Homo-oligomer: A and B are copies of this chain.
Amino acid sequence: MTGPEPKEKAKVWATLAEEARRRIRDREWAPGTTIPNEATLAQEWGVSRVTVSRALGKLAEEGLLDRRRRAGTRVVERPQRAASFEVGLIRDEVERTGRRYGYEMIEAGEHQVPEHVRDRLGITTQPRVMRILARHLSGGEPFAWEERWINGGTVPEALDVDWRHQSPNEWLLHNVAYTWADVSLTAALSGPRSSRALGCEEGSALLMLERTTWLGKWSVTHVAYCYAPGHRMWSRS
């Protein structure tokens, strides 16, 4: 042994998937042609058909193969992989970079609900609604600006929370579990308050993530996060 083994798992199907990728890359399996069927490959590789199926299924998922019953498995002519971006919690995002996470409440209180938020929350009546403005820090530097609306009709307890030391997200996670959310991403110009909070010029371009959270058919909260100028999300894998 020339060195310590770095955690070898060697799932069989993953190995076979890699071998198949190589054959495609090296044109042993040319674009547009049909490759041997599962039974043949299973015999050639000395594994069961299910294992071959998993390996090829992975490549189909990646867009390298096109599999159809009866027709067999073909190498696609022009593979085009979609890029995928994942967004979790701000706190995790910061801590993953190794920096210290910080939270600062700027303002909190009941507030009139503007039109666009009303639409997002699907509000028709006049419930009491909490608005929290805050910012998130990364290693002491401004990282993101948060404008949060919480529907008091769905979560009345939220109207009496002290938001100075606890971010809305963490409170909601602890108190309103098993929700679902729709999330969207867009670009916005910084306004007077967000630019002050982020320490940038007014009129800067900001990446803005919006999330509306639902508990059954009742809206819980709508939040807009504006990342500091220059923030970049990278595609995974």
Within 8 A of B (CB), among A207-235: 207-208, 211, 227, 229-235
Q: Is the CB of B234 within 8 A of A183?
A: yes
Chain B residue contacts of A181, Cβ below 8 A: 81, 83
In-complex Cβ contact of A231 among B24, B78, B177, B186 (8 A): B186
Which of chain B's residues has its CB closest to A234's CB?
A: B184
Identical copies in the complex:
2
Within 8 A of B (CB), among A56-92: 77-89
Chain B residue contacts of A81, Cβ below 8 A: 180-181
Closest CB-CB distance, A70 to chain B, in whole Å? 18
The verdict on A186 contacting B25 (CB below 8 Å), with A85-B87, A87-B82, A89-B80 known, is no
Chain B residue contacts of A84, Cβ below 8 A: 84-87
The verdict on A187 contacting B184 (CB below 8 Å), with A24-B178, A203-B203 known, is no
Give complex CA distance A86, B227 in Å: 20
